[in-house]
A and B are shown apart, each in its own frame.
Chain A
Amino acid sequence: MKKLFRTLRSMRFGILLLVLIALCSVVGTVIPQGREIRWYAQNYPSFHGTILLLRLHRVFESWYFITLLVLLCLNLSLCSLIRIRNVVRAAHGETERAAGLPDTVFLNPEGMEKLRGYLEEKRCRSEKLGEITVYRRHGFGRYGSFITHLSILLTVVFGALALYTPVVTDQNCMPGESIFMSDGTEIHVQDFHITDETGRLDYQSHIQVTLPNGRRSEIAELRVNHPFSFGPYKVFQQSFGTAGSVTVTNIATGGKDDFVLTEQSALSADGITGIVYEMLYPDYIRDPSGNVTFITVTEGSYPNPIYQFEVISDGTFTPTLAEPGDELELAGLRFRFNTPVEFPGLRIKQVSQLFNALLIASFTLMIAGLYITFFYEPVLVKTDAKGYAVGGPKPEHMRIELGEAFRDYEQNAEEETT
């Protein structure tokens, strides 16, 4: 049991876990993830069985990858606990221990004088123990490694919570309409446009959220990178689309109906005569002989949209085209083809703001921990009349720094140190 515990908390085991996580990650990027099983059979005919058996098509959700992450958390927890215990223990009596160090570098009197001045200039606190003076600085630096490891652990835990606990809904919504969530929350989309007035891609809408208790948000601007949070909901600009828009007027009564069309639809009063909306194309080219070539893909708003539909009359279907603004009269109905409607696809996330806040706090802690570890290293220098020695948990930086700065004052350093 002790051996298992020792293994679980060892750094070698931690490194092994990191290497295995890295290897799994490589596989997860080389083999496309999350496709249909048929796709793997077609593209990897010789070893798709192995892919499926080892779940290489869903590496990041596989039992072994999650096991590695859990073991890493365990390793980090144990490692952090042991580390903080050792660091706190080592901090006690450190000055006395440093005072007992034998000199490793010997300087001439001028060098020693300059060394003291140098260390004081670096704002080291000095402590006199008889003939010996111990200079120290950045004592807090010893906790950098602990803070870093703790923050990685917190990041993995809160990251998993922030990633897997939200309830996510993707839904398109026409401007002027609302999305109703299962708890009764209403998300109303006031307007949406793909490009701004200069023609630059923008994907901007204005939305308003009303919670079941009647609490209503102000009208908020929603764009990519600018989600809107209200109550437990966070709304994101996720996707977009363009739909056909047709107004049908009963010529006799003057009654009107507006239709927003995203798929094939029949519009008729009697079910016999009318139109069947087929498609809306972003752009087209008409050659001199009148033939039309449709352009099916465009970036941004449709520059030159055209409706494709069929007129049904006397049992015959006649393919027809119309531009926005065109009108058509059929069996007492007037069909007016309007400017297409741009609509947003919203991602609505029911999130715990607490998990997000804790995760971001863990991020901040990690950056602080790394900074303290690498750039706020504890300094502990023992000096006496003849020379100095560098002690503490991370002596290398100071050894090199002082070695470079006082090289010219060294006295028989080679012989003395050997």
Chain B
Amino acid sequence: MKALFFAAFAIYGAAVILEFTGTAFKKDRLLKAAWYVFLAAFAVHLVFIVARGIAAKRLPLSNQFEFANTFAWGVALMLIVMRPRLRTDWLSVVAMPATLLVMTYAALQPMEIKDLMPALRSAWFGVHIGSAVLSYAAFVIAGCIGLRYLLSVKKGSADERALAQMDYISYRMVAFGFLFLTVVILSGAIWAEQAWSAFWTWDPKEVWALITWIIYAVYLHLRLRMKRKGKVMAWFLVIAVPIVFFTFAGVNTLMHGMHTYG
């Protein structure tokens, strides 16, 4: 089964190379090929996730590898959903490498299938972790759009309308991610009350999820109430992505807490 994962990984890698080459040499055919290769990688990746779920007899979301793997798939899914709606392919050049980056992190984690520990056997498991996948993926895509915005401004390669669209879409992605991050925190609180007897324990993972929530709450207030747009907000989104990664991977690696499941 590992072969499927590495096949998806390799195909994502090929898509990124094609995308970079096509962008550098302005070859539309290469860009088109990159997109189809990316879709193929996504399909193989989906097969791997389903196969792993069947083998584990549960949702494949229980440890760092499984979460990172699904997170990468979530980023790819967001890109696939967003691209036709945007009617543009400017997102791919940053979102494809982001998918590959998360896949690389997953590839570095232990991959063996383990039985679900009793604390994780709950109806909240899918809601809590599935929402985290969607939320983090949306924040990564928002960061990618922010990066693309900054590159476009620097190069002067996009008109006002395109920049406004990027700015708006990144805000929508944050809104989507924020809603799901709220679901993550609140469903986690209800679950924690059932499993650990308290809604909130100031566990490092909980605290960093709250910090991430606060960061994006600040973004939304600046964007919606103070009407801040443009470069500053794009920088905000780019800088926020490492914090999302820290919440997802850094906390489990560097801090000990009740969310240390492997």
Contact = CB atoms under 8 A, between A and B. Distances in A.
Interface stretch (B34-42, B60-68, B147-155, B186-194): B186-194
Given A14-B221, A226-B194, A33 B202 contact: yes
A334 to B, nearest CB: 39
B199 A162 contact: yes
B118 A223 contact: yes
A203 B168 CA distance: 50
A371 B186 CA distance: 14
Contacts of A359: 199
Q: Taking chain B's interface residues, is the majority helix, strand, or loop, or is none over half, making it mixed?
A: helix
A225 B122 contact: yes
Interface in B207-248: 207-208, 210-211, 214-215, 217-218, 221-222, 224-226
A159 B210 contact: no
Given A28-B207, A370-B178, A225 B197 contact: no
Contacts of B211: 22, 25-26
The secondary structure that dominates the A interface is helix
Given A28-B207, A29-B208, A236 B221 contact: no
Central interface residue in B122, B175, B196, B199, by most chain A CB within 10 Å: B199
B255 A400 contact: no
Contacts, number: 100
B210 to A, nearest CB: 6
Contacts of A371: 179
A202 B115 CA distance: 11
- How many B residues touch the partner, as a band? 35 or more
A287 to B, nearest CB: 31
Interface string B137-177: 00000000000000000000000010011001000100110
Interface string A218-249: 00000111110000001010100000000000
Contacts of A114: none
A224 B119 contact: yes
Interface stretch (A92-100, A256-264, A360-368): A360-368
Contacts of A138: none
Contact of A224 (B121, B182, B222, B255): B121
25 contacts: A14-B221, A18-B217, A18-B218, A19-B214, A19-B218, A21-B214, A22-B211, A25-B207, A25-B214, A28-B202, A28-B207, A29-B204, A168-B197, A224-B118, A225-B121, A359-B199, A360-B190, A367-B183, A370-B178, A370-B179, A370-B182, A374-B172, A374-B175, A374-B179, A375-B179
Interface of A: 11, 14-15, 18-19, 21-22, 25-26, 28-29, 33, 60, 159, 162-163, 168, 200-203, 223-227, 234, 236, 238, 347, 349, 356, 359-360, 363, 366-367, 370-371, 373-375, 394, 396-397, 400, 403-404
Interface of B: 87, 115, 117-119, 121-122, 161, 164-165, 168, 172, 175-176, 178-179, 182-183, 186, 189-191, 193-200, 202, 204, 207-208, 210-211, 214-215, 217-218, 221-222, 224-226, 251, 255
